Structure 1
């Protein structure tokens, strides 16, 4: 309690004295990311390589003794034989993937045997979520195979940006970043700041009659649980991929941070 009181008192005194160095207001910003939750999609080259390796291994492997693994005349045996036929046909055509051939064979078998489809069936989870279908950019459940970054909008007329605020003369850069994230986005998120050193800087000259320009230092952080609870000064927020950031942020602003963002 005493520490909390002293911190508030410190903030009250520091608010009137923002940190200015060489005619530039120092600001702290947070690049908060959510890491991928599932494996990413394979590239066309990777898919071709995996298919090549799979066909090569099949060509060099010993045939499976079906009489040992499957009861004669059983549903499992019939399904296996249909899958094997699809694999054999795929082996003759280099343009056909073994995985795709088996998937199509299984889909055909289930359609023709609807009454038996539930036997020994393993359901595969969808790679897209409800948030993807609804294009809900405020949800952390979207684009599960990609890294998402938090951006906020202070007012309708202002551009999108990462959470940021001025640094006080009585606090360190990483302290200002942590404070900014809680003040603008609430304390309902479990986050971890990767380090105490900034990973980028954005310089802006004096505008709109301001006496000083600004230097915004970006701190890296990750979110593990929870969700944004925006304050009154934040009118909107979104979780975006790197490609979406390039379309949403101002060009010069994005240029200052793009090398610090992961493509995955």
Structure 2
């Protein structure tokens, strides 16, 4: 529309005279655009969205990248008391199944194997390699239930009895000078080199010394790396997020915090949780923002080999510990614990 047409339209509108259809459509479009702009401005005010020009009044949170570095369990978990008692029950059930068969079912009469069976049956008082002394044909055969708190229900005691039975030659109770003793002594000399392999202890030297810096402790549990910052607070390693992804930041934080002598693996590309820390008073940043606090996003990382070393750390860290979940609760602050507890494994 040219300038002359626009002037004519304005004069006609003032005089109250009818205008052409094209001019009417133009006025409707202009009014609609103006109304839409006014509604958008009102929405911005109602949502408390500051204008772009007022950059100095913007608020934000700083972003940290945290690392939840863990060592997974190395051995199976400890048995529940019920599981240990059920194991003994299964052993004795197996013994009862063996009772109907005589030794001749297994060994021919008057053979070396038969004589060894006779010797061991006197020591075991049971036909099978059971735990404890049980006479299936005696007057107390019915009384084979294990009482609550009895030593027979303890797993370590059961293992020791099985090993003791396996190491028994059967010649220990024979009178000296007997033919059976002589034969068993010869047999013992022949099998002396075949020692029974004993299982490794589930309790290590680090467990006995309570060395929380060692990865060779609490082998049946998951251990997590905690570090002590400049202010003396225990937390997971963390640092400000720079121009990088969270996965790249996790790798950098580990290198700067606990050294490069560890083989680690970052599990996934997304965080497993976060912790929000609010300041008592907002801080002014270099970008002109009012920083209300920090939000730390944690990445899950596993250690495959190596050990932490704080000698050359760039964060001023003072100490570190490898702790299980319940041990972490005793070291960190309560608000920090409430944010991280659901990220940690129970065992």
What is the RMSD of the two structures over their aligned residues, measured on CA atoms? 3.3
Report how far residue 23 of structure 1 moved.
1.4
Normalization by structure 1: what TM-score?
Answer: 0.77
> Does residue 82 of the first structure (1) align with residue 128 of the second (2)?
no
Alignment partner, residue 309 of structure 2 = 229
Alignment partner, residue 97 of structure 2 = 60
Q: Which has the higher contact order (CA 8 A, sep 6+)?
A: 1
Which is worse superposed, 248-257 or 117-126?
A: 117-126
Deviations 1:134-187 (A, max 9, x none): 1111110011111100011123x321000100101x111111111101110111
Counterpart Cα distance in 2 of 1:82 and 1:171: 71
Q: What is the correspondence of 1:15-54 to structure 2 with a 5 Å cutoff?
A: 23-54=60-91
Q: What is the correspondence of 1:1-264 to structure 2 with a 5 Å cutoff?
A: 23-61=60-98, 63=101, 67=107, 71-74=113-116, 78-79=119-120, 82-83=123-124, 85=126, 86-88=132-134, 92-95=144-147, 96-97=152-153, 100=157, 103-104=160-161, 120-155=195-230, 157-168=231-242, 170-207=243-280, 210-211=283-284, 212=291, 213-230=293-310, 231-232=312-313, 233-264=316-347
Counterpart Cα distance in 2 of 1:179 and 1:163: 11
CA contact (8 A) 2:66 2:297 kept: yes
Alignment partner, residue 15 of structure 2 = none
CA contact (8 A) 2:163 2:196 kept: no
Local SS of the residue matching 2:303: strand
Deviations 1:36-66 (A, max 9, x none): 1111101122223333333334433565756
Counterpart Cα distance in 2 of 1:224 and 1:36: 12
Give 5+ residue unaligned stretches, structure 1. Answer: 1-20
Give 5+ residue unaligned stretches, structure 2. Answer: 1-57, 127-131, 136-140, 173-184, 285-290
Normalization by structure 2: what TM-score?
Answer: 0.60
Deviations 1:76-122 (A, max 9, x none): 87457534533525971233449645734755987x96x98986432
